[in-house]
Chain A
Amino acid sequence: MVGGGGSGGLLENANPLIYERSGERPVTPGEEDEQVPDSIDAREIFDLIRSINDPEHPLTLEELNVVEQVRVQVSDPESTVAVAFTPTIPHCSMATLIGLSIKVKLLRSLPQRFKMDVHITPGTHASEHAVNKQLADKERVAAALENTHLLEVVNQCLSARS
């Protein structure tokens, strides 16, 4: 009569560690000055990816500490970005999907001149190498986005939370 088990039993990690969200970046007088150029910095890249939704939890990648500002390397003059992300558990089956979401978010949000590298923080995932290889392969990323189901999940991760 009484349903005991809900959908929660399916989660790989039902009670994950959660981290505080950083607030909105405060607007500086320099940013409001028409004349001063603001270069693209690590915080700006972090702001792009920190609010990506986790595919499993109603939490953001930032709250799960999957992405951190210290793991973002950026050089505006050289047009390069490198983002390392850390899956919550070493066997996390969502790692590729998370990496793909980060990659797609950057592709949609950064000027074309940027060369971007999205990879797993070294030593934090069982199939680190394989996932990194997939993410670095342009054709495989493009092919993945042709897959309606995958694109749907990625889009959900990138949509503003209701």
Chain B
Amino acid sequence: MHHHARPSFCSLRGCGSASLPGWSSLENPEPRTRARGIQLLSQVLLQCHSLLLEKEVVHLILFYENRLKDHHLVIPSVLQGLRALSLCVALPPGLAVSVLKAIFQEVHVQSLLQVDRHTVFSIITNFMQSREEELKDLGADFTFGFIQVMDGEKDPRNLLVAFHIVHDLISRDYSLGPFVEELFEVTSCYFPIDFTPPPNDPYGIQRDDLILSLRAVLASTPRFAEFLLPLLIEKVDSEILSAKLDSLQTLNACCAVYGQKELKDFLPSLWASIRREVFQTASERVEAEGLAALHSLTACLSRSVLRADAEDLLNSFLSNILQDCRHHLCEPDMKLVWPSAKLLQTAAGASARACDHITSNVLPLLLEQFHKHSQSNQRRTILEMILGFLKLQQKWSYEDKDERPLSGFKDQLCSLVFMAITDPSTQLQLVGIRTLTVLGAQPDLLSSGDLELAIGHLYRLSFLEEDSQSCRMAALEASGALASFYPGAFSSYLLPKLAKELQRGELDVTREHGPNKCSRHLLCLQALSAVSTHPSIVKETLPLLLQHLWQANKGNVVIGFNDIIAICQSLQQVAEKCHRDPDSCWYFHETALPCLFALAVQASMPEDSSVLRKVLLEDEVLAALASVISTATIHLSSELAAQSVTRIVPLFLDGNISFLPENSFPSRFQPFQDGCSRQRRLVVLLMAFVCSLPRNVEIPQLTQLMRELLELSCCPGCPFSSTAAAKCFAGLLNKHPAGQQLDEFLQLAVDTVEAGLGAGSSRSQAFTLLLWVTKALVLRYHPLSSCLTARLMGLLSDPELGPAAADGFSLLMSDCTDVLTRACHADVRIMFRQRFFTDNVPDLVQGFHAAPQDVKPNYLKGLSHVLNRLPKPVLLPELPTLLSLLLEALSCTDSVVQLSTLSCLQPLLLEAPQIMSLHIDTLVTKFLNLSSSPSMAVRIAALQCMNALTHLPTPVLLPYKPQVIRALAKPLDDKKRLVRKEAVSARGEWFLLGSPGS
């Protein structure tokens, strides 16, 4: 068509219309021929409308308007032409109105085909976009004309456009004149939308598209309110779930534009319907939408500005709600207590005024009910409701202290909370503790006396016995929360008690620590860290903890392995709480690190032989210390970290102990130089520090440090030190900027690995180094990583290192906890797993097929680890090629492979049922076989897969149903309860397959 456009356009302009090809047919007596002629012209115009001159447009419009009177067969082509002309920039004023008038007058739109009706809507839309003012001059006639055009429309494609036009009519303030109700009728007749797109619908119109665009129309103006609200109430009251939901959501949307005037007459009915849905519904969605609508209604009523003499509808509305819900609050055992509380709390959450009104009514009632009911579970329900209302107070800020609605109830609330937290019922205590926290968060509510009492209770609860673990944890959390508001009170009422408690433990050196004392010590440590939520408190708790450790070291306290670990955990938690405040962070770092390093260095002296000092060097204790050091370093600013690094690196490389307290050690500290294995173990602390530094901190003597680490990493005899050195090297490598120095480090590492793998004595150390270096490079997408991964894959066939290499893939794919994490500023690309998968899985699969039988399990295991850690959406498309291998892996006798394969297949059953259906026979057989595996974990996973199988299409499963139900009877009698539980739920699901009611 396009190549015709220009010449015909020229001829139209230059030689007069007669020479246009097909022109004669425009006047042909046969309507079909005329239609073809006009169609040709219209198509030309669609191509070239932007080039037309005003004179030509006038001419064409006159022609087309005239043709609207023609035979009905001609009309579609005429409309096409008018659509083209409606896009013309050169259209002179007045013609848009004239075209529309002609259409409204001459065309019976609803007897046209869908596509032609769509053309009419397009013409209107085009004019509304470009000629808004002219159309508005037409007044309500335009609205009326459009109503006639739209009336009776059924096609969803046209409706979407029509709804859009109505929305614009209203939002751009076209005159609706006397046609408001007609406009409402012509749109609201589609409410609620009941439309299911046909399968393979090429237009992709969803039910929600229609729902949302109709809702935008209906909720666009308060002028529809008198017609819409009765309709919404009728539909909420219907039995159809989708109609209820749509009506409630539409009501919610209306409240954004409505005011008291629109709602006034309908409030009682609206409330009755919402109340009924919340009281009696079986659907949580209806309940949620009902509550949302109530929230908007209340907010809407709260918003309206009132004349002085007008009735405040908010008050009467809320009184209605209170009247219907209040009495249910007095029956804490009954079903309607919670729906009532939810309704009241929802309304109270809508505005400060509503909150005041409801709280001032409900709070005295609930306080009274608490005392009227004596059972703990009833009191708990009541207190939990009170808590809900108190939490709402936090949404509104009150300028004036006397205005705060809670002030008057403060004393009663406090005494109630104290009753709750001294009640024997744990559940009631828990709600009491939560309520205390909420009261404490209200500014200026609690008095100093209240706080002293509260802190006394929290102290008591912090030392509760084992069986009240949940209360103790809640008390610790509450202490932390309240301490951040009232550091002074906690410092004067709680910390002295905790310090005394800690000292009591220290003085008790003579007595062997029984379980009681031991646990009190531990609880005290936890309380100290929990309360360290304010910088001023940290300045008291950290010295207490460090001094405690120091006393232990001096032998003044008998202290065991568990105590040291507990102190470290406590320190760790304090360090974590310092993160938000840079000053606290530096205070912790500067105070704790020298002390911890001093203790460790002292313990590593060859001359030292005390029991405690041995404990300090154990793997777990060093790991716990490392964790404290890392946490205290991660959040330092670069400047402060740079200060610290100039002291700690020389400590390890040169034995420079000048920054350590009490540093008169009997020997030199030279972890990298001499053969003292104790000192080498401390490299894990160095690792924790240097690997947690921000990336831009320059590390002094880096080359020397890297060489020393490499050497130590291949040192046989102490896997703890050599692994720490390898991890430390990898951690630094990962953050080092690309360039010549990095290449040198890498070359050194590769040489060290190859030398080590060649030698007999340190192969395992060299392997560990290879693994960590590979991980460091894989994480940052370094080009050398593929080489190293290939080397690792080669080791899968190694008779000695094969199994370790297979497990190594787990390390490569998982997140570390100490080094190479994002938290400690490592370079971790988000897609590294996907990339590793794409780069290496084909080789692993190929390796598996080529490998001799005895090492095949190593490949399967490696593959299992990779697949297991991969995000499932990435795995799904790869499934068809891997599935046969996974099914083979199910027959592998290694239970790690079985388990990992099952946990890989389980989500795939849920997410790719079609593909999995093809293998139903194998899956059923293998899963059932594994459900009697000797390993409990495998049995559980196999039964979970049996359960997941029920997500495949039912017709695929039904032939297996009798067999499966019989087979699953056996694990119902498994000796392990956890296995039986899975068998019960799997078998239950299989029973429901193809059965009515499922």
Contacts and interface: CB of A to CB of B under 8 A. Distances in A.
B330 to A, nearest CB: 12
Contacts of A11: 280
A48 interface: yes
Contact of A16 (B334, B975, B977, B991): B334
A38 B977 contact: yes
Interface string B399-436: 00000000000000000000000000000000000000
B997 A151 contact: yes
A108 B280 CA distance: 32
Interface stretch (A92-100, A109-117, A129-137): A109-117
Contacts of B234: 1-3
B975 A158 contact: no
Interface string B644-665: 0000000000000000000000
A125 B663 CA distance: 83
B336 interface: yes
Nearest to A6: B276
Nearest to B272: A4
Nearest to B377: A20
A37 B335 contact: no
Q: A-side binding surface: helix, strand, loop or mixed?
A: loop
Contacts, number: 102
B334 A151 contact: no
Contacts of A12: none
A152 B988 CA distance: 14
Interface string A66-91: 00000000000000000000000000
Interface in B255-292: 269, 272-273, 276-277, 279-282
Contact of B972 (A6, A37, A109): A109
A148 B977 contact: no
A39 to B, nearest CB: 9
Interface string A2-22: 111011100100111110100
Contact of A15 (B272, B334, B935, B991): B334
Q: Most chain-A CB neighbours within 10 Å: which of B234, B237, B239?
A: B237
B92 interface: no
A3 B233 contact: yes
Which of the four size classes fits the interface of chain B? 35 or more
A17 B333 contact: yes
B152 interface: no
Interface residues of A, number: 44
A34 interface: yes
B958 interface: no
B831 interface: no
Given A8-B280, A34-B936, A155-B998, A59 B976 contact: no
Contacts of A108: 984, 987-988, 991
Contacts of B976: 31, 34, 37-38
B972 A110 contact: yes
Given A15-B334, A108-B991, A111-B972, A148 B280 contact: no
Interface in B272-325: 272-273, 276-277, 279-282
Contacts of B453: none
Nearest to A1: B230
A14 B997 contact: no
B282 A58 contact: yes
A134 B972 CA distance: 26
Contacts of A58: 281-282
A154 interface: yes
A140 to B, nearest CB: 19
A151 B987 contact: no
B987 A109 contact: yes
Nearest to B381: A20
Given A2-B269, A34-B936, A18 B997 contact: no
Given A3-B233, A6-B237, A17-B334, A155 B977 contact: no
Contacts of B611: none
B333 A18 contact: yes
Contacts of B972: 109-111
A111 B334 contact: no
Nearest to B266: A2
B969 interface: yes
Contacts of B996: 148-149, 151-152, 155
A109 B335 contact: no
Contacts of A15: 328, 331, 334-336
Interface string B464-497: 0000000000000000000000000000000000
A155 B935 contact: no
A8 B279 CA distance: 9
Interface in B931-955: 935-936
Contacts of A110: 972
Q: Most chain-B CB neighbours within 10 Å: which of A14, A15, A32, A159?
A: A15
Given A1-B233, A17-B333, A18-B335, A27 B997 contact: no
Interface string B199-235: 0000000000000000000000000000000100110
Contacts of B336: 15
A161 to B, nearest CB: 10
Contact of A17 (B335, B935, B981): B335
Given A1-B233, A18-B335, A32-B978, A155 B997 contact: yes
Contacts of B279: 8
B925 interface: no
B975 A3 contact: no
A100 to B, nearest CB: 13
B992 interface: yes
Contact of B977 (A2, A8, A31): A31
Nearest to B331: A15
A141 interface: no
23 contacts: A1-B269, A3-B237, A6-B237, A6-B277, A8-B280, A15-B328, A18-B333, A34-B976, A38-B976, A44-B980, A47-B981, A58-B282, A59-B335, A108-B987, A111-B972, A113-B973, A151-B995, A151-B997, A152-B997, A155-B992, A155-B995, A159-B992, A159-B998
Interface of B: 230, 233-234, 236-239, 269, 272-273, 276-277, 279-282, 328, 331, 333-336, 377, 935-936, 969, 972-973, 975-978, 980-981, 984, 987-988, 991-992, 995-998
Given A1-B230, A8-B279, A18-B333, 20 more contacts: A2-B230, A2-B269, A8-B276, A15-B331, A15-B334, A15-B335, A15-B336, A34-B976, A44-B980, A58-B282, A59-B335, A108-B988, A109-B984, A111-B973, A148-B996, A152-B996, A152-B997, A155-B998, A156-B998, A158-B992
Closest 3 CB pairs of A and B: A3-B237, A152-B997, A155-B997
